[in-house]
Amino acid sequence: MHVPFCRRKCGYCAFYSLPGAAPAQMRAWRERLRREFAEFAAASAPLHSVFLGGGTPTLLPPSELAGLLTDIRAAFTVAAGAEISSEANPETVTPEVADTLAAGGVNRVSLGVQSFQPALRRVLDRAGDPAAAETAVPRLRQAGIHNLGADLINAIPGQTPPLWRDDLRRALGLGIAHLSTYALTREEGARLADSFPPANPELEADLWEIADTETARHGLHRYEVSNFARPGAACRHNQDVWLGAAYLGCGPAACSFDGALRWSNPADLNAWLRDPVPRETDPLPADRRAAEILVFGLRTTAGWTRDLFQERTGFDYLELRGRELHRLQDQGVLAGLPDRVYPTPRGLLLHDHLAIELL
Amino acid sequence: MHGPARTFTDAHGPRNIRWTCPLDVSVDVRAGPCASVYVRAGVAPTPMRGNVPAPLHGDTKAANELPHSKTVVHVSRIMSLPAPPTCRGDLAGYIPLLRVARDLPMVFTLRSRRASLLMAAPEFIRNFAIIAHIDHGKSTLADRLLLHTHTIEERKFQDQVLDAMDLERERGITIKSHPVRMEYTAANGQVYQLNLIDTPGHVDFAYEVSRSLAACDGGLLVIDAVQGVQAQTVANYNLAVRQKLAIIPLINKIDLPAADIDMCTEQMEEILTIPADEALLVSAKMDIGINELLEAVITRVPPPNVPADGVLRALVFDSVYDTYRGVVSYIRVVSGNLKKGDKVKLLSNGQETEVKDLGFFRPAMTAVEFLGPGEVGFIVTTIRSPADILIGDTLTTVMAPCPVALPGFQRIHPMVFSGIYPCDTRDYEQLKYSLAKFQLNDSALQVQSENSPALGAGFRCGFLGLLHMEIVQERLHREYDMEVIMTYPSVIYHVYLTDGKMIAIDNPMHLPDPTAIGHIEEPIIIARIISPSQYLGAILNMVKEKRGEDIETATVDHLHIMITTKLPLHEIVVDFYDRLKTITRGYGSMDYEPSGYRSGPLVKLEMLVNGDPIDAFSCIVHRDCAEFRGRRLAERLRDVIPQHMFQIAIQAAIGGKVVARETVRAMRKDVLSKCYGGDITRKRKLLEKQKEGKKKMKEFGNVTIPQSAFVEILKTKQE
Ligand SMILES: Nc1nc2c(ncn2[C@@H]2O[C@H](COP(=O)(O)OP(=O)(O)OP(=O)(O)O)[C@@H](O)[C@H]2O)c(=O)[nH]1
Ligand code: SF4
Ligand SMILES: [Mg+2]
């Protein structure tokens, strides 16, 4: 679910979101969303996970938020024990919001911290009180949501290894079970993109290793290029996306995959409000789609078993890309062949390289 | 429908003219083998525009079928005048001026265009080239002349309009010579036909200039008022003097605040020995002094000198390949007449052919019926391959050939050689085809197939210089979509073997075993460098470092010096010019010409990547600077080879001994960690784009080197 509303636009952000949206826009959005649910509900299997992302889902007035969660359940069958996650900006997590989430069945919350350092937040041009996370966590726990995670950005200009370590420690000190972290990228569409210096792979590799060490101390392990979790706390939704499972994205800019075809909604609220939604599809021949799924599955540390890949794509990966896979295994970036294939720790750091070989 | 038959008499006897519509014809007879016919709408029953009797209008073929008259084309504007023209100065307003070749039955060409674009008597023709150092404003001056003579309409005009190639426009330089014909009504009332050739300024294209000059009787020597006399000014001036052209020096850009006319005239007197008062003051950009210039062209450039025998002699001074027309040869008719259908032959090899089409440049190719003595234009013949038309050849008639060939030019010899290889070996055939096509339009480019252990099958190509080489690469990419790699440039070495034999090699790979070599000689050039005096020391240091000998200095004026020196060609191929520009803060200029061979202690420098020699980077260098060169090259390679998943060793070796070593460290991180909201499509497309980029790289074992690296290593690193 893409919730395209934010209080204000952060300088580094290239997601589709509308700062300071009017309540009328939010109502129109919900209204349209219900119709989009209806469009797909009949054909949809029971949902194993639901993910509210954005934007800032927790910016919705509690009544709208509760309504949204009810709408989902009304339209789709949500499987028993499904993972229902929401992103949240720490400063928006009032006791009321926390209760609304919990009451609506949300059992996992990911807090968009990005950095605790005021100076680095200024570089990102991200508003909000860095200490808000420290209040939000107990509030969510009190409301009954225990599966909590945080998002941090690294390689922010000015972020030295000690500062990064500091951010990690503060986030992990909250007792979270999940951590997402990615290196800041200059993205087209972000207000400050041009002011960020080009990436420094050496430094990023150092920060990567620091993240491995620090998370390990708190019992978290990297399970995907930019995600760490306690055993059993990996984000199911996220993993499904990497491993070629079908998912439905609703709301402007949301992306979907039905097992064969990918499509995306327009990154424009008004365009998406139209009927029918002018969607963009991404058709690909079956073998290239399978190669794509192979590549993205290799972003997870567990990678593929031959059976799972066969089940998801209908292809045998050795028939599809045997020569390339073996070469990459020889180069030491992949391991596990023939029955499994997964990236070595070094291979994970060089994922783009192996992706280019395999696509 | 047919008009009255009329008879007129000219110097060559009476002729019959039968008009196919009621037009009044009056005749003006001039000296020379041609007659001019002026037509006036006297008794035309209706205004002629849009109302020309059908067989007369526009269609050559239809007109050809008319009884008694051969060709009538393009009547589009006819004006009525009270009296027929009687004298030359009184023609304005009359439409078509017809020129009639003596030995033909009456042939008419009616045109709305002003008269003298068509065949003019030699005394009313002026042929001249614009020559100068790079960027002194030749093409801008040509623009101005085209506008003043209304050759190009103001609204169709764009700056440097003659620079038609995309690459020329983009870089703001002229690569090819561009001829164009103009009509100019002089102060004396006479209409003149002016044939102008805009020439390139860069030293690599000096050959273009010298060929163009052979088609001219005068030269406009442009001198930038701020920069003054530069190396190519001297070189082009010398070329023009050698061709015995009338030279009109002009100081351009006088509108600039920094213009220094006194400096320019002093330099002219000092180094070109041209009296200061001969110079015209012009601003091509601001349109100052152009009328005076045009008048000077009329009075100071002599009309073409036409041998009186009337035999056809035409000099082929260039040729291009046009997709639609085939081979288009640029010619200067020295004497005689040329018309469509004529059987002609090339004197050098006796090859016979037929004139299919002929015309002049305006600046687009414009067809005419005749080219007469003194005129510059183009012809298309039945010859299909540009290689069959030797530039500098003499064209004459099969029936009455001229006895002696015109002085042609020396064949151009490429100076710099490099291997061209497709990035993707599967593109070999495509490259072969592209190069063949390319050669059609670039006679200076030499191509031969060759094989490289590291690069596979490719071509050894000869170029005029480094700019030429760069331009070939760029045009291959742009016009033929070919991604190629060019190996480190080489010159032709004369290798004398111990058994007394001499072999010429243009590729270090072919250098025989040192034990078999007696000595090696390398090509030498005479360089002429002009610079402000304060950089003399720095220039001399560089010249010495580059093994310059016989160094002489002369003053250009009280602030500038000219240095002449003999240098190995190899030394100036790669980074000499860039460095000269750097040490003289852009004020220095250089020109050179070949000057034989000299023996030297030369060795082969090899570059190894992860232990494998890569012949694309090898070169032959002087023993004393081999180590230094090796270090430099290794550093450059370290900077341009991207990080791989493993460490890469780069070594420079002379005769198997490593003299320099650099390392490209292994890449540690290469992953875009951000991927959000299941937008896999976008991320995959990014990766696919990267993969596409990799196709522009060349694999050597497991090391991939980007195409750009081969270009980058030739550039001087600015310290
Ligand atoms: N101010 C000023 N600039 C001029 C004048 N004439 C030419 N320029 C400028 O000088 C630059 C070079 O002009 P070109 O006409 O391309 O020079 P060129 O001699 O044809 O150059 P090449 O063909 O590359 O040798 C351009 O930027 C022109 O606008 C002038 O009279 N005054
Ligand atoms: S980073 Fe998050 S909170 Fe900031 S503008 Fe983007 S979506 Fe909104
Ligand atoms: Mg020019």
Under a CB-based contact definition with an 8 Å cutoff, are residues A150 and A174 in contact?
Answer: yes
- Identify the weakest region by mean pLDDT among A3-17, A219-233, B4-18, B264-278: B4-18
Task: Fill in the DSSP letter of residue B288.
Answer: B
Q: What is the pTM of this model?
A: 0.66
The pLDDT tens digits of the residues spanning A35-82 come to 999 999 988 999 999 999 988 999 999 999 999 999 999 999 999 999
**What pLDDT shows up at residue B708?**
78
Main-chain dihedrals φ then ψ at residue B252, nearest 5 degrees: -105, 165
Kindly report the average pLDDT of chain B as a whole number.
79
Flag whether pLDDT at B10 surpasses 80. no
The reported pLDDT for the residue numbered B120 is 64
* Chain B residues close to A224, C-beta within 8 Å: none
- Closest residue by Cα to atom 7, ligand 2, is A55
Lowest mean pLDDT of B60-64, B445-449, B487-491, name the range.
Answer: B60-64
Is residue A55 lining ligand 2, measured as CB closer than 6 Å? Answer: yes
Encode pLDDT of B15-41 as tens digits: 333 333 333 333 332 222 233 333 332
| Chain-chain contact of B674 with A353 (C-beta, under 8 angstroms) | no
A274 touches chain B (CB under 8 A): no
Query: With 70 as the cut, is the pLDDT of residue B261 above it?
Result: yes
Whether residues A53 and B677 touch (CB distance < 8 A) is answered with yes
B290 lines ligand 1 (CB under 6 A): no
For residue B646, with 0-12 CB atoms within 10 Å meaning exposed, 13-18 middle and 19 or more buried, which class applies? middle
Show residues of chain B in contact with A350, CB under 8 Å.
Answer: 645, 667, 669-671
Is B104's pLDDT higher than 90? no
Higher pLDDT, B253 or B708: B253
pLDDT tens per residue across span B619-628? 999 988 889 8
- pLDDT at residue A243 is higher than 60: yes
CA nearest to B461, candidates B435, B423, B494: B435
Residue range B485-493: mean pLDDT, rounded: 91
Between B91 and A54, the more confident residue is A54
Q: Is A261 on the interface with B (CB under 8 A)?
A: no
Query: Model confidence at A349, in pLDDT bands (50, 70, 90)?
Result: very high
The pLDDT confidence band at residue B676, using thresholds 50, 70 and 90, is low
B618 token code pair: 């090898």
Strand ranges for B362-415 from DSSP E: 365-367, 370-371, 376-381, 394-397
In this predicted structure, the answer to whether residue A324 has a pLDDT above a threshold of 90 is yes
Alpha helices (H) along B116-162: 138-148
**Residues of chain A positioned with their CB less than 8 A from the CB of B669:** 201-202, 204-205, 208, 349-350
Is a pLDDT exceeding 70 seen at residue B448? Answer: yes
**Candidates B669, B680, B704, partner chain A, best to mutate (most A CBs within 10 A):** B669
The number of the ligand nearest the C-alpha atom of B137 reads 1
The 10s digit of each residue's pLDDT in B272-307 is 999 999 999 999 999 999 999 999 999 999 999 988
pLDDT at B399: 85
pLDDT tens per residue across span A289-304: 999 999 999 999 999 9
Domains in chain A (CATH in brackets) are: 2-241 (3.20.20.70), 286-359 (1.10.10.920)
Q: Stretch B50-75: mean pLDDT, rounded?
A: 30
Q: What digits encode the pLDDT tens for the residues A160-196?
A: 999 999 999 999 999 999 999 999 988 878 888 888 8
Cα B163 to averaged position of ligand 3 atoms, centre (Å): 7
pLDDT at B77: 27
Alpha carbons B621 and B607: distance in angstroms, whole number: 13
**Band of residue B526 on the pLDDT scale cut at 50, 70, 90:** very high
Identify the CA nearest to B395 among candidates B321, B343, B320: B343
CB B100 within 8 A of CB B35: yes
Q: What is the mean pLDDT of residues B682-701?
A: 83
Closest partner CB to A225 (pick from B673, B678, B690): B673
The pair phi, psi for residue B522, each rounded to 5°, is -120, 155
Distance from CA of A304 to the nearest CA of B (A): 18
In the predicted model, is pLDDT for residue B671 greater than 90?
no
Give the bridge partners for B53, in sequence order: none
Give the model's pLDDT for residue B675: 63
Least confident range of B59-68, B156-165, B180-189, B328-337: B59-68
Confidence of residue B376 (pLDDT cuts 50, 70, 90): very high
Residue B527 identity (one-letter amino acid):
A
Q: What is the ipTM of this complex?
A: 0.92
Distance to chain B for A103, nearest Cα, Å = 24
**Distance from Cα A56 to the centre of ligand 2, integer Å:** 7
Q: Is A288 on the interface with B (CB under 8 A)?
A: no
B265, B235 contact by CB (below 8 A)? no
For range B468-472, the mean pLDDT: 88
Inspect the interface and report whether the beta carbons of A331 and B645 lie closer than 8 Å: yes
Q: Give the helix/strand (H/E) hosting A151.
A: strand A147-154
Query: Phi, psi at residue B116, to the nearest 5°?
Result: -75, 0
Among the partner residues B668, B674, B680, nearest to A296 by beta-carbon distance? B680
The pLDDT of residue B73? 29
C-alpha A115 to ligand 2 mean position (Å): 13
Identity of the residue in A53, A183, A202 whose CB atom sits nearest the CB atom of B668: A202
- Indicate yes or no: CB of A226 within 8 angstroms of CB of B645: no
Touching check for B689 and chain A: CB below 8 Å?
Answer: no
CA of B330 to the centre of ligand 1 (A): 25
Answer whether A329 touches B (CB < 8 Å): no
Which pLDDT value is given to residue B614? 87
Closest Cβ opposite residue B669 in set A205, A333, A355? A205
Q: Name the percent of chain B lying above pLDDT 70.
A: 82
Contact across the interface for B671 and A292, Cβ inside 8 Å: no
Are the CB atoms for B349 and B430 separated by under 8 Å? no
